[in-house]
Amino acid sequence: MKKVLILATCVLAFAACNKTPQGSPVTPSETGKDYTIRISPVMTKATETSFENGDAIGLTVSRASGAFATNEKLTYNGLEFSSNLLWYSEGTDPATLTAYYPYASTVPTSFAVEADQSNGLAGSDLIAAYKEGVLPTANAVAMPFKHKLSRLEVVITNNAGYTLDALKLKGLALEATLDAQFNATAVAAAPAETDITAYPAGETSFVAIVPPQTAVITAAVTAAGKEMSQKLQEATLAAGKKYTINMIVNAEDIQIVLSGDIEDWTDGGELKPDNDVEPVQFEENLDEGYFTYDNVKYNVVKMDDGKWWMAQNLAYVPEGFTPASDLTAVTAGVFMPLRLNADGSAAEFATDAETIAANGYLYQNEVALGLKVGDLTSVAQAEALEGAQGICPTGWHVPTIDDIVGLVGKAVSPITTNTEAPYYDGANGSIALLNADGFNMAAVGSISITDNTKASGTFMGRMANYDHLCSSMTCGSSYAGVTYNTSGDETSGIKNLQFWGMMPMTNKATEAEYTCNGTKVSYRIAGPLRCVRDTE
């Protein structure tokens, strides 16, 4: 019998052993290796179902050019699903992954729950996962599996003291048709539809899984040699949700009510909108100077400003985004990192896992703040994002101007210099001082898109006579300024919003002269992100 879909400790143990970013593209021709497609199943909340060794899922991998693999059987080894299926060689070509459980010899287009569920629910629980924008990777791909059917929980107040022998649910359809993402639509129940015998979860509680549907349910309890039943009002059952039926059994009759509250199947919490993004796996290990986030280990350091900072740039791809490597993709939200080309004459996009791990991705500020490009349309919205978590892990946030000036001391006008900041050297924020304490700051370049009217960006960071990128602009959460399509006319619409970020500069003769000061950053510029821990 299945008990828990995936233990968080299993996912974390896997993450600790894998330092390649989740979803980082890996082209076999670059590494000389082939990588099998592996799936790490995750549920972000506790459930009563778990995969066991030998369980199998069906995986379909689709690309823009067509299906790469259809209904590939992947088997669970206690940590992840795998087979001999190799990733394709085009490392920057994203794919859509669809998986379902339990495995069938052909991709199912329909699914029927068992009429007799008294011995367990495993055979009636359809679970599936869907993920877009997945790039070939050496890591197992973390996929959120979700229940596709509905769950009914019957809780009985047994005033008669009877031994409750069985609970049956009548008037429900047992079969559903499935779409390409395994969303279920019940086949209408016939008047004489087979009863569902529920699973006894306790002395006074029963559970059953049914297809999502609108139905008039009759609940019938068998006790003391007789069956007592009552019909409920019509109810609509949604996929992935559990509903409570409260029954009172007296000596001669029963009372029954279907709870008006819909509870989330996985933890009994409140119903959340369908477009809520599932929380990403995260674990802090501050004593050891790191955290793991979406299966990637990041170094962190407590600086002399008293705050914990990431000691490397974030390399996380938010749900629904695919990192772009095209300067005309001005609303992509996330871009591949940069490097100098082979002869050092220009900057170029990098798609190899090593550069992604070292430099992180480049984020447009709206995405760093947890939005989509184009979501910000007013100054009030921008001001309200001060200190936002954004795409940082829980308990961390996108840096504010106070964080920045408290660390490096200096920012452009009108910010007053904080001469007491620990990494202010009397003239500028000092990269040498920062890195002496483990901050590991470098200039990694940015994509310059100066405002929302631009149709193309430019590479920022390459300077003549230097063998490295010399500048970048990091993301921040404090509003810094606005320009309108018509200067000074708010009614003409916003042309550009600015946020306070940091600007490392390494265009000096010696590393001791490298600077890192606060600066205003256009919200369409794509730059690296360093998260800072919330103050306790």
Report yes or no: 366 and 374 within 8 Å, Cβ to Cβ.
yes
Tell me how far apart the alpha carbons of residues 393 and 310 are, in angstroms, rounded to a whole number. Answer: 11
CA 49 vs. chain centroid, Å, equals: 21
Residue 424 pLDDT exceeds 90? yes
Q: Is 428 helix (H, G, I), strand (E, B) or coil?
A: coil
Q: Is 221 helix (H, G, I), strand (E, B) or coil?
A: strand
pLDDT at position 71 is 96
Residue 1 pLDDT exceeds 60? no
Residue 360 pLDDT exceeds 50? yes
Structure tokens at 243: 């509903």
Identify which has the larger pLDDT, 47 or 179. Answer: 179
Report yes or no: 347 and 338 within 8 Å, Cβ to Cβ.
yes
Other C-beta atoms closer than 10 Å to the C-beta of 216 total: 13
pLDDT at position 116 is 95
Least confident of 78-92, 122-136, 239-253, 344-358: 239-253
Tell me how far apart the alpha carbons of residues 258 and 214 are, in angstroms, rounded to a whole number. Answer: 13
pLDDT digits (tens, 9 = 90+) for 218-255: 888 888 777 877 778 788 888 888 888 887 777 655 54
Residue 265 pLDDT exceeds 70? no
Identify which has the larger pLDDT, 524 or 279. Answer: 524
Which residues, including other chains, have CB under 8 Å from residue 205's CB and lie 6 or more apart?
A: 153, 154, 155, 156
E-strand ranges in 379-477 read 396-397, 446-448, 458-460
pLDDT at position 10 is 32
HSE-up of residue 527 (Cα within 13 Å, Cβ side): 32
pLDDT at position 268 is 33
Shortest CA distance to 297 belongs to which of 280, 284, 279?
284
Tell me how far apart the alpha carbons of residues 213 and 237 are, in angstroms, rounded to a whole number. Answer: 5
Tell me how far apart the alpha carbons of residues 294 and 404 are, in angstroms, rounded to a whole number. Answer: 26
pLDDT at position 49 is 55
Question: Per this entry, what is the length of the chain?
Answer: 536
What is the distance in angstroms between the CA of the first residue and the CA of the last residue of the chain? 42
pLDDT at position 9 is 28
Identify which has the larger pLDDT, 309 or 161. Answer: 309
Tell me how far apart the alpha carbons of residues 366 and 525 are, in angstroms, rounded to a whole number. Answer: 10
Could you give the domains of the chain?
8-147 (2.60.40.2620), 150-264 (2.60.40.2630), 282-533 (no CATH)
Tell me how far apart the alpha carbons of residues 209 and 194 are, in angstroms, rounded to a whole number. Answer: 14
Residue 534 pLDDT exceeds 50? yes
Shortest CA distance to 528 belongs to which of 344, 367, 322, 293?
367
Question: Phi/psi of residue 385, each to 5°?
Answer: -90, 5
Please provide the DSSP assignment of 86-143 as one string. EPPS-TT--EEEEEEES--SS--SEEE--SB-TT-SGGG--EEEEEEEEPP-SSPEEE
Q: Is 341 helix (H, G, I), strand (E, B) or coil?
A: coil
pLDDT at position 204 is 86
Cis peptide before 414 (omega within 30 of 0): yes
Report yes or no: 321 and 334 within 8 Å, Cβ to Cβ.
yes
Tell me the average pLDDT of the chain.
85
pLDDT digits (tens, 9 = 90+) for 70-96: 999 999 988 889 999 999 988 788 999
Shortest CA distance to 103 belongs to which of 52, 46, 138, 58?
58
Structure tokens at 56: 């199998």
CA 394 vs. chain centroid, Å, equals: 12
SS3 content of the chain, % helix, strand, coil (to 5): 10, 40, 50
Residue 521 pLDDT exceeds 90? yes
Distances from the Cα of 244 to the Cα of 221, 241, 260, 404, 490, angstroms:
15, 10, 8, 50, 52
Least confident of 126-140, 182-196, 316-330: 182-196
Shortest CA distance to 360 belongs to which of 329, 339, 332, 382?
339
Shortest CA distance to 92 belongs to which of 22, 138, 193, 24?
24
Tokens 């006074």 correspond to 204
Percentage of the chain beyond pLDDT 90 is: 62
Report yes or no: 303 and 311 within 8 Å, Cβ to Cβ.
no
pLDDT at position 481 is 95
Rounded to two decimals, the pTM is 0.53
pLDDT at position 236 is 87
Residue 296 amino acid letter: V
Report yes or no: 381 and 266 within 8 Å, Cβ to Cβ.
no
Q: Is 300 helix (H, G, I), strand (E, B) or coil?
A: strand
Q: Is 192 helix (H, G, I), strand (E, B) or coil?
A: coil
